[in-house]
Amino acid sequence: GESVGLHLPTLSVQEGDNSIINCAYSNSASDYFIWYKQESGKGPQFIIDIRSNMDKRQGQRVTVLLNKTVKHLSLQIAATQPGDSAVYFCADSLSGGYNKLIFGAGTRLAVHP
Amino acid sequence: DTAVSQTPKYLVTQMGNDKSIKCEQNLGHDTMYWYKQDSKKFLKIMFSYNNKELIINETVPNRFSPKSPDKAHLNLHINSLELGDSAVYFCASALGHLGNTIYFGEGSWLTVV
């Protein structure tokens, strides 16, 4: 497997609590935003995305909020479960820019029973 | 029935060798990517092909050469491997190249010794 990302910020939550993972992006022209979940030894898995004409989008137990004014993105996970433990990445792109995703540094979510 | 599959999953090789990583997707996508994830889990795009045409070529040493024989395949060949090439390489695909969800493979762990 890969080495542990020791420099990753970690969010520790209790099982059943809600989790909020934050992300800042730098390109004010970005118009597509996406969250990925990466479990140990696996590839990034799509969670939810949002386009810049929206400020909120909900999925199953997850909500993404977009604040274009301050270039901030957040992922909310309701009723966090042990299976949610993973590294979460946000990414943004410019839809006219060949889908070139720029990834954030990642946040490790640790769910405790 | 893996959507984006890449081989090998693990590769250990000596400095100076030449190696290839293969990728295939069965999603009917026409755009494919190679991303590199370093030891700090930072994900960065390397290349992208749309319908076998190179559309993204980031600042990558020319020892790295992608090849797309058809739109379902994108292989990565690396010449004269160096210690710093050790990383996890992810293949990914999407439909079109204008802001659609990118789906990742499970990764190829390359270790250069």
Would you give the distance in Å from CA B113 to the centre of its chain?
Answer: 20
* Angle at alpha carbon of residue B93, lines to B91 and B97, rounded to 5°: 130
Nearest chain B residue to A6 by CA: give it: B40
Contact A9, A55 (CB under 8 A): no
Flag whether pLDDT at A58 surpasses 80.
yes
Contact B35, B43 (CB under 8 A): yes
Which of B42, B45, B106 is the closest to A42 by Cβ?
Answer: B106
DSSP bridge partners of B67: B75
* Angle at alpha carbon of residue B65, lines to B63 and B70, rounded to 5°: 170
- Considering only residues A100 and A76, tell me which one the structure prediction assigns the higher pLDDT: A76
- Considering only residues B22 and B98, tell me which one the structure prediction assigns the higher pLDDT: B22
The single-letter code of the amino acid at B29 is H
Q: How confident is the model at residue A2, as a pLDDT? A: 33
Distance CA B64, CA B46 (A): 9
Distance CA B13, CA B20 (A): 11
* 8 Å CB contact of A96 and B98: yes
Flag whether pLDDT at A4 surpasses 60.
no
Q: How confident is the model at residue B2, as a pLDDT? A: 67
Distance CA B84, CA B53 (A): 28
- Considering only residues A107 and A6, tell me which one the structure prediction assigns the higher pLDDT: A107
Average pLDDT of the residues of chain B: 93
Give the model confidence (pLDDT) of A77-110 as tens digits.
999 999 999 999 999 988 766 778 889 889 999 9
Q: How confident is the model at residue B52, as a pLDDT? A: 85
Which of A44, A95, A105 is the closest to B98 by Cβ?
Answer: A95
Average pLDDT over residues A34-59: 96
